[in-house]
A and B are shown apart, each in its own frame.
Chain A
Amino acid sequence: DTAVSQTPKYLVTQMGNDKSIKCEQNLGHDTMYWYKQDSKKFLKIMFSYNNKELIINETVPNRFSPKSPDKAHLNLHINSLELGDSAVYFCASSPWTSGGGSSTDTQYFGPGTRLTVL
């Protein structure tokens, strides 16, 4: 039973195309994230959603648009793909909720989607 799953695992596409990556978590968590990991293994947050509401939106080109249809899903759509978008994209979730309480904010990562733009 995969806790955080992503599809596809590998994505190879041409420059200028539009593509989507899907993420689902079955942990019942309130918060989900998208990270980008470049070739040097540097992991940087892109977006965070809490209960379907956008709470973190880093300086990311507006070609990237996250969509959260429900608490268990956070998809990433990328328009007009560029060579520099090639990276591994990780989805993560945590039980943390903006209401606070005793919830841990430990983040659980998916297996990653390796995107290659040609």
Chain B
Amino acid sequence: QKEVEQDPGPLSVPEGAIVSLNCTYSNSAFQYFMWYRQYSRKGPELLMYTYSSGNKEDGRFTAQVDKSSKYISLFIRDSQPSDSATYLCAMSASRGSRLTFGEGTQLTVNP
């Protein structure tokens, strides 16, 4: 069983839709949670970084962490075609320790 599970999709939505991306994990030691965005043939870039449970908002993006359920989410409001990419969740047990990634969800936002 993988430590981090993420539905690979693909997920296709119309422009303006609210997108919900999710990951579940099994390692209760994870405390730091990240979302990376990866455009085709590019390296991943950090989108959101959260510590422990709670919500964090940045523009159209909201990250939620529910440690009791071992479940994290990324919401994208008013999705744009430029949001089309693969979204990878990642998590670690302590700062500086190895990141464990989900396998990524491929998102397409149609104009």
Q: At the interface, yes or no: A43 with Cβ under 8 Å from chain B?
A: yes
Q: How far is the CA of A23 from the CA of B44 in the complex (A)?
A: 16
Q: Which of B26-47 contact A (CB under 8 A)?
A: 32, 36, 38, 41-46
Interface segment, one of A14-22, A65-73, A75-83, A108-116: A108-116
Q: How many residues of B contact A (CB 8 A)?
A: 23
Q: How far is the CB of B103 from chain A (nearest CB, A)?
A: 5
B98/A56 in contact, CB under 8 A: yes
Is B60 among interface residues, defined by CB-CB distance under 8 A?
no
Contact A40 B8 (CB under 8 A): yes
Q: How far is the CB of A85 from chain B (nearest CB, A)?
A: 19
Cβ B96 vs Cβ A96 within 8 A: yes
- B99 within 8 Å of A (CB atoms): yes
Chain B residues within 8 Å of A, Cβ to Cβ: 8, 32, 36, 38, 41-46, 49, 86, 88, 90, 92, 95-96, 98-99, 101, 103-104, 106
